Amino acid sequence: MTVIAEIFSQGEEVVSGQTVDTNATWLSQHLNDLGLTVKRHTAVGDQLDDLVALIREIAARADCCICTGGLGPTVDDLTAEAVAIASEQPLQFDEIAFKQIEAYFFRRQRPMPAINRKQAFLPLQSVRIYNPVGTAPGFALKIQRCWFVFLPGVPSEMKAMFPVVQQQLQKRFSLHSHCLVTLRSVGIGESAIQQRLQSLKLPDQVMLGFRAAIDEVQTKLLFPADFAINARQALVTQALDLIGDAVFAVDTPEQIQGDLPTVIGRGMKARGLTLSIIETASQGMMAAKCIGHDWLRFVQFSANIAITAERCGCSYFSDDLAQSAIALAAYLQQRQSIDWQLVQLYSGSLTDMDQPIVLYNALQTPEALHQTSMTVAGSAQTKQNQAALMGLDLLRRTLNHSCL
């Protein structure tokens, strides 16, 4: 049985075009992965009448609807009020929700503004959903044929609350979820992956899709739930062979390998290694992506590459940046009591959109020196992010190879 789902986003910032509605995209992907069929996205602003009318429309035509936004403490946050009218369930003060909001402020050692009390009023008969990272609790209730879930519009809060939503949906609907396998890669484009996979013979029931995110490209194979596991593994292995070692992780229903810093972190921890980094083009972004990992010991960035060398006390520095990166890594290896040294230098202009930069990566381990070089184009932000990913990817590849 098809479970028809809709996504509903509330907020003037969405309808007026100040914000791109990435929540709707994220939620659609996750509902599809769970086996629901998303038929419609709708966004409306802060007018109570519009909200009520929309909730009534959806209540009559969908089985499930995830709504984001309008749960804040301010006067323009009207979702709970609209739900109360559309569902004919009055708003009721929820003691537990209130305590959770108080605790949020207490942890931050800030007084709770009086207006936040409003967020503890939830429609009668609704199920509260705890918000571990913000003040607005979510809630869910059935209106006519439709199970409505209301979540905050701040993406990090919405995403942190989704696991609970997912459990509720799995209990409520008999979902024939598919089996999704995701091959996660860096350093190769979507169309190049598609070309490499041309010789892969997929049965009709298996769907192939691609998703380009900021930090990776995902190749998705969607299998029917009853597809034989051996046959599935054989197809995944073939796909992996065709794409090559740009794939840093494979997520299956049995095992989530995670994003690039997670994969690297597992390798570093398993072997008890520590790392220091010299960044240039990425300007702190390599370190920033490794937040929460304690194997990263020391990072240095400087705008001028000669300053970098001088700061490290390294006398060898030349116009040959590949050689300079190697010399710097080797020098630091002798001087620092840190296991691995990663150095990235670059030539070209970060801010000139029409000019690419060339990256020179050197990774010195006690056993060997590893180096890579590549060209990156785009805005300063794009070059920065790609530089960070390329540096980290050399680390990932070295961990893979030296584990063998």
Which residues 151-170 are close enough to bind a copy of itself by CB under 8 A? 154, 156, 160
Q: Does 15 bind a copy of itself (CB under 8 A)?
A: yes
Both tokens of 103, joined, read 């605790």
What's the closest the beta carbon of residue 172 comes to a copy of itself, in angstroms? 21
Strands (E), 115-244: 121-123, 127-129, 138-143, 146-151, 179-185, 207-212, 217-223
Helix axes 380-403, 260-270, angle to 10 degrees: 30
Question: Angle CA(344)–CA(355)–CA(196) in degrees, nearest 5?
Answer: 75
**Residues 267-326 within binding reach of a copy of itself (CB under 8 A):** 279, 282-288, 290-292, 294, 296-304, 307, 311
**Residues 95-134 within binding reach of a copy of itself (CB under 8 A):** 107-110, 113-116, 132-133
d(CA 74, CA 72): 6
Q: DSSP letter string over 362-404?
A: EEE-SS-EEEEEEEE-SSHHHHHHHHHHHHHHHHHHHHHHHH-
What's the closest the beta carbon of residue 299 comes to a copy of itself, in angstroms? 4
Q: Does 201 bind a copy of itself (CB under 8 A)?
A: no
Question: For residues 115 and 229, which CB has a smaller minimum distance to a copy of itself in the complex?
Answer: 115
What's the closest the beta carbon of residue 158 comes to a copy of itself, in angstroms? 13
Question: For residues 76 and 241, which CB has a smaller minimum distance to a copy of itself in the complex?
Answer: 76
Question: For residues 20 and 124, which CB has a smaller minimum distance to a copy of itself in the complex?
Answer: 20
Is 120 within 8 Å of 92 (Cβ atoms)?
no
Q: List the one residue from 56, 128, 142, 211 that touches a copy of itself (CB under 8 A).
A: 211
Q: Does 203 bind a copy of itself (CB under 8 A)?
A: no
Beta strand 91-93 with 37-44 is unpaired
Site for a copy of itself (CB under 8 A): how many residues?
100
323: enclosing H helix or E strand: helix 321-335
Question: For residues 49 and 241, which CB has a smaller minimum distance to a copy of itself in the complex?
Answer: 49
